Amino acid sequence: MELDYLEIIKYYGKEILDSKNMQKEKEFMQHGNITVFDHSINVAIECLKLVHRYRIPVDQKTLVRGALLHDYFLYDWHEKDKSHKLHGFIHAEKALTNAEKEYELNEIERNMIYCHMFPLNLRIPKYKESIILTIADKIIATKETLEPYKKLIKVNEKYI
Ligand SMILES: [Fe+2]
Ligand SMILES: [Fe+2]
């Protein structure tokens, strides 16, 4: 089942997955033993699961791209650096700035990235894709923190 979602992600996310900076996310850790790259794919899978399970009509390409780029902040937030203390509050905006430099984003993708840290960041998600992403991100962050490696697939090696 997971593999079908991965196929959808590879199809719609190819431009992003193949990019140099996305590949760089494999070097940055997110939660536990999970890299930002794997986290982003896990979140994209969870987004697709939610829309399929609840039959929510969405633009799948937008959903996948926004999910893949939602943590495109491109630094290791565990490194000791003053600004990284504020990671939770600043990284969504940073991710959007980085993503806009490289990709032609639509309004929904921009909103997904910018608002994904709601409610910690008080920027209310405007589209259903944005709301789905905030929920999927929290589900996955919890799983990654509580049980790294157990239920989540390691996807790194599939995108060399
Ligand atoms: Fe995030
Ligand atoms: Fe995230």
Tens digits of residue pLDDT in 15-52: 999 999 999 999 888 887 889 999 999 999 999 999 99
SS3 assignment for 136-159: HHHHHHHHHHHCCCCCCCCCHHHC
Using the mean position of ligand 2's atoms as its centre, give its distance from the Cα of residue 57 in Å. 23
In this structure, which amino acid lies at residue 138? Answer: K
The tens digit of pLDDT for each residue in 49-58 reads 999 999 999 9
Q: How far is the CA of 65 from the centre of ligand 1 (A)?
A: 14
| Residue 108 amino acid letter | I
Average pLDDT of the residues in 95-122: 96
The ligand with the least distance to the CA atom of 114 is: 1
pTM of the model: 0.90
